């Protein structure tokens, strides 16, 4: 079964073809970073219009890479939510139009389920069950995963997600958009021990997260140390604080669930400091940690095609109606 995946939830247009027998056949991605850079953040209207321009050429590109034609497609998976409503509507409209034209089923996929399952696209995928740490621009969650569609939320962010904290802190440090990647690069040059920043909710007794206070602490620190020469040390201290909290909560989740596998997904999962901290943490517990390929840490069509394929193989039903979900609880799609 050949699945066409369409991702358009925010500022990246992703298209992919996944074959349930042969694996990932082809994928392509267009990032809108340059488009939004002059505004210092994503402009929803511009994002939607760019998805319209990019989606069809990317589909043609992916089909050519896979030496396939549209008639070969057996089903279409698209991101139904969460995300920017206008951006989601582009992918949803395209998916439903193609579904009618090709007379194939169309399946709406939860964006975070795509991220959660993306490490299964690797050459050495994790087996179920596992604990998943979802760390993207807008979400920081710990999930207990028993199988496809079987998810339980263990902890969630109460305010800023880790990715948001990275971007907002980068802005405080005067870094260009997109700030998260720039902050990580700057932190590599700094001394993480020079400044001490708080570890929010590290000892809260639960698995929830809160990073808005850490951002405020950085603001105070930058006001006390305005010299640009101090920025690398501040960035390094911030990055270590984030990694320590995420790692500690993840280790607690493994302990509470008895799981031996930790899966990390989402854009922040590409951060080298976090990866190193998690690898060291699971080693002490005799567990394993799995990361998606770096190209699948950010939003992409491959994870949507794969999640759609897994849903169909596990009895998932085609979309009953046309619509998008700007907000959508991942646990709401979990099987009983």
* pLDDT(190) > 80: yes
Instruction: Examine the domain organization and report whether 82 and 15 are in the same domain.
Output: yes
Instruction: Examine the domain organization and report whether 63 and 169 are in the same domain.
Output: no
Instruction: Examine the domain organization and report whether 305 and 162 are in the same domain.
Output: no
Q: Is residue 48 part of a domain?
A: yes
Q: Is residue 223 part of a domain?
A: yes
The token duo for 299 is 């939003």
CATH number at residue 79: 3.30.420.40
Q: Is residue 185 part of a domain?
A: yes
pTM of the model: 0.93
Share of the chain above pLDDT 90, in %: 83
Spatial distance between the Cα atoms of 201 and 316, rounded to a whole number of angstroms: 38
Instruction: Examine the domain organization and report whether 261 and 313 are in the same domain.
Output: no
Q: Is residue 257 part of a domain?
A: yes
Q: Is residue 164 part of a domain?
A: yes
Instruction: Examine the domain organization and report whether 264 and 168 are in the same domain.
Output: yes
Q: Is residue 121 part of a domain?
A: no
Instruction: Examine the domain organization and report whether 12 and 80 are in the same domain.
Output: yes
Instruction: Examine the domain organization and report whether 281 and 148 are in the same domain.
Output: yes
SS3 state at 290: strand
Which domain, by its residues, includes 34? 2-116+298-333
Q: Is residue 159 part of a domain?
A: yes
Looking at the structure of the chain, the number of domains it has is 2
Domain boundary pick from 291, 306, 324: 291
Instruction: Examine the domain organization and report whether 97 and 26 are in the same domain.
Output: yes
For the chain, the first-to-last Cα distance in angstroms comes to: 26
Instruction: Examine the domain organization and report whether 276 and 306 are in the same domain.
Output: no
Instruction: Examine the domain organization and report whether 69 and 208 are in the same domain.
Output: no
How does pLDDT run across 130-189, given as a tens digit for each residue?
999 999 877 899 999 999 999 999 999 999 889 889 999 999 999 988 888 899 999 999
Instruction: Examine the domain organization and report whether 105 and 135 are in the same domain.
Output: no
Q: Is residue 122 part of a domain?
A: no
Spatial distance between the Cα atoms of 222 and 172, rounded to a whole number of angstroms: 8
CA distances from 191 to 19, 51, 152, 202, 211 (A): 46, 41, 38, 22, 21
How does pLDDT run across 216-231, given as a tens digit for each residue?
999 999 999 999 999 9
Instruction: Examine the domain organization and report whether 103 and 33 are in the same domain.
Output: yes
């Amino acid at each position: 079964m050949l699945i066409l995946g369409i991702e358009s939830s925010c500022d990246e247009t992703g298209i992919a073809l996944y074959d349930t027998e042969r694996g990932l056949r082809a994928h392509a991605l267009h990032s809108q970073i340059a488009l939004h850079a002059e505004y210092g953040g994503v402009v929803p209207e511009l994002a939607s219009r760019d998805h319209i321009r990019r989606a069809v050429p990317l589909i043609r590109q992916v089909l050519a890479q896979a030496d396939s034609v549209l008639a070969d497609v057996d089903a279409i998976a698209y991101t139904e939510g969460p995300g920017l409503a206008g951006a989601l509507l582009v992918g949803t409209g395209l998916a439903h139009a193609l579904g009618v034209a090709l007379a194939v089923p169309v399946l709406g996929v939860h964006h975070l389920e795509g991220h959660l399952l993306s490490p299964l696209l690797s050459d050495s995928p994790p087996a179920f069950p596992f604990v998943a740490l979802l760390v993207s621009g807008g979400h920081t969650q710990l999930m207990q995963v028993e199988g496809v569609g079987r998810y339980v939320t263990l902890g969630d962010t109460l305010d800023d997600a880790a990715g948001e904290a990275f971007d907002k802190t980068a802005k405080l440090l005067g870094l260009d958009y997109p700030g998260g990647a720039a902050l990580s690069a700057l932190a590599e040059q700094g001394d993480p021990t020079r400044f001490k920043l708080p570890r929010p909710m590290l000892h809260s007794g639960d698995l929830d997260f809160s990073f808005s206070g850490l951002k405020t602490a950085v603001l105070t620190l930058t006001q006390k140390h305005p010299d640009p020469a101090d920025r690398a040390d501040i960035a390094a201290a911030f990055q270590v604080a984030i990694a320590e909290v995420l790692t500690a909560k993840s280790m607690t989740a493994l302990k509470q669930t008895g799981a031996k596998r930790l899966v990390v997904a989402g854009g922040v999962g590409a951060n080298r400091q976090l990866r190193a901290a998690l690898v060291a943490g699971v080693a002490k517990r005799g567990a394993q940690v799995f990361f998606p390929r770096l190209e699948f840490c950010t939003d992409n069509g491959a994870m949507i095609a794969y999640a759609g394929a897994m849903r169909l193989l596990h009895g998932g039903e085609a979309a009953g109606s046309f619509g998008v979900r700007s907000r959508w609880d991942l646990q709401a799609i979990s099987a009983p």
